[in-house]
Amino acid sequence: MITNTHRFCIAPMMKKTDRHFRFLARQFTKKSMLYTEMIHSNAILKGNVEKLLSYDDCEHPVGLQLGGSEPKSLAEAAIIGQEYGYDEINLNVGCPSKKVKSGNFGVFLMKNVKLLSECVNEVKKNIDIPFSIKCRIGVDDYEGEEYLKNFIETISDYDINTFVIHARKAISGLDTKRNRSIPPLNYDLVFKIKDYFPDLNIVINGGIEEIPEVKKLLNNVDGVMLGRKIYSDPAFLLGIDKEIYQDNTNLEFSVGMQNYMSYILNLKDKKDVNRAITHLVQIIRKLSHTKDVRRKLLENVRNGSVGLDEIFDGFKEDLSQRAHLQTH
């Protein structure tokens, strides 16, 4: 079944798409699909569940991305995710990191479709919310049109309707960063998968930088997912609701930033504050004349020598002035 939910998605990114960044992203887009960082099923079953899975209600629609290769553990973690109110469970079958390889999960499940099928079946029969797969077009020698077609066909037989496909294969000898750039993009192969499976929700990922590219890709697939581009420039999202969803709700950069600063001031845990500030520094780096603000924020992270209230008050005033100048 084709839905509009995944028309534009923000990719799960380790140490980036935590609940603080997702709150920030939601200030600039109300329609996009958000995802957590990949969380291993064992972390949920054995760790601090509240810290791992708590989120703000404004984040909906938001999906929980799981990692792992043990069917029962994945199912138990998915059940907990459902109980926490996530809108979707997504299984990571695309990460190529060394840690993932040693644990035989992520993209390396594409080499073991039997085990992956067991994982998918166990999760699917234990939850009622949508369940999706994020994969690549292949890994090492497991590649090509016929391989990917058979892979999608096998997994979709378990009533999986949504596949997010990174249009690069993964290569075992490369680290995660190089696996995002060295294997060539093959959008045409993802388009062919959509042609083979017109009733599936096919979302494309990899190397996409601009809204015109997103619009062009949507002529061939059902959705587009961006990751690094969004993290490096979250304000990019301000154009998404209007351009991709034809929603003319007016979202202002200055208002979103002020909302996020208020959010930070309400955080209780210093580690959460520091993490949230890291995302703030990332976005204001794109603004001119903010070097002093960035310096003060980083000083606060290091030793708390500069009060956040003082920093934010000055920055909010600056943002208001910028907004005033832009409208006159």
Q: Is 7's pLDDT higher than 60?
A: yes
Domain residue spans of the chain? 8-245, 253-326
Lowest average pLDDT, out of 16-20, 38-42, 272-276, 314-318, goes to 314-318
Half-sphere exposure of 156 (CA within 13 A, CB side): 20
Q: Catalytic site residues? A: 95
> Which pLDDT score, from 0 to 100, does residue 189 have?
98
Confidence bin at 322 (pLDDT 50/70/90): low
Q: Is 123's pLDDT higher than 90?
A: yes
Cβ-proximal residues to 119 (8 Å cutoff; 6+ apart), any chain: 68, 69, 70, 71, 74, 91, 109
Give residue for tokens 């997702």.
22
Confidence bin at 328 (pLDDT 50/70/90): very low
Cβ-proximal residues to 257 (8 Å cutoff; 6+ apart), any chain: 27, 283, 315, 316, 319
Condensed to tens digits (0 to 9), the pLDDT of residues 284-310 reads: 887 766 788 878 887 877 776 557 887
Question: Domain 8-245: which CATH class?
Answer: alpha beta
Closest CA to 10 of 255, 232, 251, 252: 232
Give residue for tokens 């062009």.
216
> Which pLDDT score, from 0 to 100, does residue 274 have?
92
Quick one: what percent of the chain has pLDDT higher than 70? Answer: 95
Closest CA to 28 of 185, 230, 203, 279: 230
Q: Is 151's pLDDT higher than 70?
A: yes
- Map 204-252 to HEC letters: EECCCCCHHHHHHHCCCCCEEEECHHHHHCHHHHHHHHHHHHCCCCCCC
DSSP state of 111: G
Give residue for tokens 């791992």.
52
CB-based burial, 130-150: b 16+ in 10 Å, e otherwise? bbbbbbbbbbeebbeeebbee
CA 121, 118, 79, 14 dihedral sign is: negative
What average pLDDT does this structure show over 60-88? 98
Instruction: State how far the alpha carbon of 8 is from the alpha carbons of 20, 32, 191, in Å.
Output: 20, 5, 17
Lowest average pLDDT, out of 16-20, 58-62, 103-107, goes to 103-107
Pairing relation of β-strands 88-93 and 223-226? unpaired
| Number of alpha helices (DSSP H) and beta strands (DSSP E) in the chain | 15, 9
> Which pLDDT score, from 0 to 100, does residue 2 have?
61
Condensed to tens digits (0 to 9), the pLDDT of residues 216-273 reads: 999 999 999 999 999 999 999 999 999 999 999 889 988 999 899 999 999 999 999 9
CA 99, 103, 106, 108 dihedral sign is: positive
